[in-house]
Amino acid sequence: MAQQQNMRTVARFDDTGFVRMHMDGLLDEQVWWKNVSFDEVTGQGSYLMKMAPGTRSNPHIHHGAEEFFVLEGDLTDHDGFSYRSGDFVSLAAGSSHFSRTEAGCLLVVTHRGATESIQEGAL
């Protein structure tokens, strides 16, 4: 039986190790992520995400469900729906969106399938 400490991952927002998130068409956005269990091949798993004030994500479609918890700050989807600290959000497979933040935010994100970048006009 494997030792428990070899099977545990702990990530914190105040730790180092965040890297710039690659987003098609948005090379200069100050969006950072830290992988916890996310598998880039399958598009499944979780990560921590930091968005600086005034930033946005790229338009994308979810081929599996996405869930996120807003730990701190604000987030507004392209349709004007606003999330705030303490909100847990579940977006169904097939949903598409992009989000922006005025004050910045910290998110815990889980994907249950790949995402695909799309054009803003496709929303």
pLDDT tens-place string over residues 33-85:
999 999 989 999 999 999 999 999 889 999 999 999 999 999 999 999 999 99
Rounded to whole angstroms, the Cα distance separating 37 from 111 reads 10
Residue pLDDT, tens place only, 92-122 = 999 999 999 999 999 999 999 988 888 887 7
pTM across the whole model: 0.87
User: Which pLDDT does position 22 carry in this prediction?
Assistant: 84
Higher pLDDT, 8 or 28: 8
3-state secondary structure of 7: helix
Contacts of residue 86, defined as CB under 8 A and 6 or more positions apart, other chains included, come to 70
Task: State the pairing for strand pair 105-112/44-51.
Answer: antiparallel
Query: For position 2, what pLDDT does the model report?
Result: 60
Tokens of 11: 């990530």
